[in-house]
A = this chain, B = another copy of it.
Amino acid sequence: MAHDNTFHSPLNPVNFLRRSAFIHPEKIAVQYGERHYTYRELEERVNRLSRRLRQEGLKRHDRVAFLCPNTPPLLEAHFAVPAAGGILVAINTRLNAGEIAHILLHSGARWLFVDEELIPLVESFEGTRLRMVRIADTGGPGDPYEDFIAAAPADPVESWLVDEEETISLNYTSGTTGQPKGVMYTYRGAYINALGQAMETGMCGDSVYMWSLPMFHCNGWCFPWAVVAVSGTQVCLRRPDPAVLWSLLKNSGVTHYCGSPTVQIMLMNHAQACTLDRPVTVCVAGAPPSPTLLGQLKARNFKPIHVYGLTETYGPTTSCVWRSEWDAQSAEAQARLLARQGQAQVTADLVRIVDDEMNDVPRDGATMGEVVMRGNIVMKGYYEDPDATAHAFRGGWFHSGDLGVWHPDGDIELRDRKKDIIISGGENISTIEVEQAVAKHPAVLECAVVAIPDEKWGERPKAFVTLIPGQQATEQEVIAFCREQIAHYKCPAAVEFGDLPKTSTGKVQKFLLRQKEWAGKEKRIN
């Protein structure tokens, strides 16, 4: 046998950039408004950022945080931080200052790169040991980020990667406890999932990927790496405004993008909506697309792929794959079939639906069970949280907390949720976190928060509140009170006052509240 390293290169998505920059130095890697970077320029910027981090004393596995919209620096960080040997922490920009502080402290980040627009969220860290670098997003001298990277040479740093199962990034997710947990991705998982996403969406060197999906979500589902693997072009943008997206779809040769149904609905119902002259592949995730949405997308020459996953599975891990047998079905039946979550993508292990004893439920399309996963596209664990990790992996499989049925053809379909989570516009909200915010109101005796269906956002939180006898509070007051504590998107969309249904032992029966709100619907998720 040869020396191990002759036939074993650690799977490392940074190598996608090394290769694409070597072969296609003059090809456009990044488009961003009037700016663009070739692969040569992208690699140089990545090299400078990684060198500068090393110059400032980065040690192996140091955490480097980014609080930033989908601008080029965050894309660069996906290569520069692992190239330097650090661990990338891309933070959800929709969180509030307290939530962001928790992530910065929990991850132990030594650097924070922050877009100037978001500085108010992290002002409390000014003057602390956290090294903060502002991103003015001008792309030119005087922009602190640009000056930071310009100070370092453009040649690559030596890789410190020894084991492909080292952690490449932390992705914080709202768990059921309300305390965000840092999901650990590995180099191996990121590499394999990048190849899988490229294959599932049929990307090639001519592909142009539009950044409508936040890059802080599961590392943009690994597309920063996938697009570079195929030497394609990525179109960055500050916010997924539908007018901007339509302009890019029409004028920038976009071939691929991803987003929740909320983003798709905004797009399809926008004044600029039109039928494109070329097919655009779109991954719809976070909730199943409705028949109406699917019809609109197809009519406008979009090719929707319904995918499903969680932060813990590097984003999508299943796809609802079209079967030729479905061709003959009615449009309504087809839409119902496409609303299924499907089965494992090419690089994932087949997913199961199990009962409480980890036995497969019957494949009858009726018996409910929990979706469980394992394999290369499953997280390594929660950062510094062995208890939560052990709990999530009980029985040797990752427990999604999603409840569903298993169809006779092997496809899974979600129906309900075991965990106290609301998915609103593709973002996870912990009902417990919302309850804790509501409960702090001086007039509130107790409360329960559940998801209610919402046409635009899929689901929104609703609070059921019992006031302290003699105290007063209005719906608006409760909502305003929450907005001072937690991110706005997490705050209740409605508040209802009254007694809470309880068991004989006094436990709140949230399922009764949900039953009422979801009456007449087949599923209790949206």
Whether the pair B229, A346 counts as a contact (CB closer than 8 A) is yes
- Please tell me which stretch of A85-93, A318-326, A427-435, A478-486 contacts chain B, meaning at least 4 of its Cβ atoms lie within 8 angstroms of it: A318-326
From the candidates B2, B198, B375, name the one contacting A393 in the complex (CB within 8 A): B2
Whether the pair A380, B23 counts as a contact (CB closer than 8 A) is no
Whether the pair B9, A374 counts as a contact (CB closer than 8 A) is yes
Chain B residues with Cβ under 8 A from A350's Cβ?
A: 18-19, 22
Nearest-CB distance from A198 to chain B (Å)?
Answer: 6
* A8-B165, A165-B8, A199-B230 given; A2·B379 CB < 8 A: yes
Whether the pair B376, A8 counts as a contact (CB closer than 8 A) is yes
Nearest-CB distance from A39 to chain B (Å)?
Answer: 12
Q: Once the chains are docked, how many angstroms separate the CA of A443 from the CA of B6?
A: 46
* A2-B393, A389-B2 given; A9·B376 CB < 8 A: yes
Whether the pair A381, B349 counts as a contact (CB closer than 8 A) is no
From the candidates B3, B346, B397, name the one contacting A6 in the complex (CB within 8 A): B397
From the candidates B7, B189, B390, B393, name the one contacting A378 in the complex (CB within 8 A): B7
Q: Does A202 contact B (CB under 8 A)?
A: yes
Whether the pair B23, A410 counts as a contact (CB closer than 8 A) is yes
Q: Once the chains are docked, how many angstroms separate the CA of A374 from the CA of B6?
A: 5
Whether the pair A347, B7 counts as a contact (CB closer than 8 A) is no
Chain B residues with Cβ under 8 A from A64's Cβ?
A: none
Whether the pair B27, A324 counts as a contact (CB closer than 8 A) is yes
Q: Once the chains are docked, how many angstroms separate the CA of A322 from the CA of B392?
A: 47
Interface size bracket, A side: 35 or more
* A19-B344, A381-B2 given; A321·B393 CB < 8 A: no
Q: Which of A340-395 contact B (CB under 8 A)?
A: 342-344, 346-347, 349-350, 374-376, 378-381, 386, 389-390, 392-393
Q: Once the chains are docked, how many angstroms separate the CA of A346 from the CA of B198?
A: 11
Whether the pair A7, B186 counts as a contact (CB closer than 8 A) is yes
Q: Does A1 contact B (CB under 8 A)?
A: yes
Q: What is the 8 Å Cβ interface bit string for chain A, positions 204-234, against chain B (1 contact, 0 not)?
A: 1100000000000000000000000111000
Q: Does A477 contact B (CB under 8 A)?
A: no
Q: Does A396 contact B (CB under 8 A)?
A: yes
Nearest-CB distance from A484 to chain B (Å)?
Answer: 37
Chain B residues with Cβ under 8 A from A18's Cβ?
A: 350
From the candidates B19, B199, B321, B398, name the one contacting A23 in the complex (CB within 8 A): B321
For A167, the closest partner residue in chain B by CB is B1
Nearest-CB distance from A110 to chain B (Å)?
Answer: 22
Whether the pair A380, B344 counts as a contact (CB closer than 8 A) is no
Nearest-CB distance from A489 to chain B (Å)?
Answer: 30
* A1-B380, A350-B19, A374-B7 given; A26·B325 CB < 8 A: yes
Q: What is the 8 Å Cβ interface bit string for chain A, positions 285-325, against chain B (1 contact, 0 not)?
A: 00000000000000000000000000000000000010111
Q: Once the chains are docked, how many angstroms separate the CA of A323 from the CA of B344?
A: 35
Q: Does A5 contact B (CB under 8 A)?
A: yes
Chain B residues with Cβ under 8 A from A188's Cβ?
A: 8
Q: Does A525 contact B (CB under 8 A)?
A: no
Q: Does A94 contact B (CB under 8 A)?
A: no
Q: Which of A431-458 contact B (CB under 8 A)?
A: none
For A325, the closest partner residue in chain B by CB is B26
Q: Once the chains are docked, how many angstroms separate the CA of A308 from the CA of B9?
A: 20
Nearest-CB distance from A72 to chain B (Å)?
Answer: 22
Nearest-CB distance from A357 to chain B (Å)?
Answer: 18
* A198-B199, A202-B204, A204-B202 given; A6·B349 CB < 8 A: no
Q: Does A24 contact B (CB under 8 A)?
A: yes
Q: Once the chains are docked, how many angstroms separate the CA of A346 from the CA of B349?
A: 23
Whether the pair B376, A7 counts as a contact (CB closer than 8 A) is yes
Chain B residues with Cβ under 8 A from A23's Cβ?
A: 321, 342-344, 410
Whether the pair B410, A6 counts as a contact (CB closer than 8 A) is no
Q: Which of A204, A342, A410 has the most CB of B within 10 A?
A: A410
For A323, the closest partner residue in chain B by CB is B24
Whether the pair B195, A375 counts as a contact (CB closer than 8 A) is no
Given contacts A3-B393, A6-B396, A23-B410, 13 further A-B contacts (CB under 8 A): A1-B184, A2-B398, A6-B393, A6-B398, A7-B379, A8-B376, A11-B192, A19-B344, A22-B350, A23-B321, A198-B199, A199-B199, A231-B321
Q: List 20 A-B contacts (CB under 8 A).
A: A1-B184, A1-B380, A1-B381, A2-B380, A2-B381, A2-B389, A6-B378, A6-B397, A7-B186, A7-B189, A8-B188, A11-B192, A16-B346, A19-B344, A23-B321, A26-B323, A27-B324, A199-B199, A199-B229, A199-B230
Listed from nearest, the 6 A-B pairs whose CB atoms lie closest are A9-B375, A2-B393, A2-B381, A1-B381, A7-B378, A6-B374
